[in-house]
């Protein structure tokens, strides 16, 4: 029985989770209202090995917008608080520009964050909005990623 409990705990920590709600993340948003869903467990940067999608949303370059993401599974450690970065980058993930950094707190799984950011002034037909969850938790994977393909017009 103890072995089963340990396996379940390891499985829970092996999947870190952040979902990008608005704009819609690459891929699906299956079961995003369930803590620990696999669609929000992308651990490889810059975008969890998900290929670019045709940008569905155009934002005005240099304008200020609100974006929403979800802490799908909480990995907060009071001795090592992590953080979320909201970045803008190109489709390769090269040279991300951090638009906002938010310190992680003990907010529970499924907490929504809405951030207001000013987008870069330079238009781009293929930009990527990226959210990174740096757990800084020695008992969890180090980083989780989520991306949305956008156009800066």
Task: State pLDDT tens for residues 24-80.
Answer: 999 999 999 999 999 999 999 999 999 999 887 999 999 999 999 999 999 999 999
The C-alpha atoms of residue 153 and residue 70 are separated, in whole angstroms, by 26
Domain boundaries, the chain: 2-152
Q: Name, in order, each residue with C-beta under 8 angstroms of 55's C-beta and a sequence gap of 6 or more.
A: 125, 126, 127, 149, 150, 151
The residues that bridge with 124 in the sheet, in sequence order, are 152
- Whether the Cβ atoms of residue 139 and residue 108 lie closer than 8 Å to each other: no
Provide the 8-state DSSP code for 31. T
For the entire predicted model, the pTM comes to 0.88
Enter the tokens of residue 4.
């089963």
What pLDDT band is residue 7 in, cutting at 50, 70 and 90?
Answer: very low
Task: State pLDDT tens for residues 75-104.
Answer: 999 999 999 999 999 888 889 999 999 999
Enter the tokens of residue 106.
């003990």
Task: State pLDDT tens for residues 135-153.
Answer: 999 999 999 999 999 999 9
Q: Name, in order, each residue with C-beta under 8 angstroms of 9's C-beta and a sequence gap of 6 or more.
A: none
The residues that bridge with 62 in the sheet, in sequence order, are none
- Whether the Cβ atoms of residue 106 and residue 78 lie closer than 8 Å to each other: yes
Q: Name, in order, each residue with C-beta under 8 angstroms of 48's C-beta and a sequence gap of 6 or more.
A: 26, 42, 145, 146, 147
The CATH code belonging to domain 2-152 is 2.70.50.50
């Amino acid at each position: 029985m103890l072995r089963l409990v340990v396996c379940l705990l390891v499985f829970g920590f092996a999947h870190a989770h952040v979902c990008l709600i608005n704009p819609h993340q690459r891929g699906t948003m299956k079961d995003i209202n369930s803590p620990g869903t696999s669609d929000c467990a992308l651990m490889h940067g810059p975008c969890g090995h998900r290929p670019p999608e045709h940008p569905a949303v155009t934002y005005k370059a240099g304008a200020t917008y609100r974006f929403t993401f979800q802490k799908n599974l909480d990995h907060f450690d009071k001795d090592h608080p992590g953080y979320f970065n909201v970045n803008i980058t190109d489709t390769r993930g090269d040279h991300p520009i951090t638009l906002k950094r938010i310190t992680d707190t003990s907010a529970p799984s499924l907490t929504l964050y809405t951030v207001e950011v000013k987008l870069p002034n330079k238009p781009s037909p293929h930009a990527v909005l990226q959210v990174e969850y740096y757990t800084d938790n020695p008992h969890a994977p180090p980083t989780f990623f989520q991306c949305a393909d956008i156009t800066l017009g």
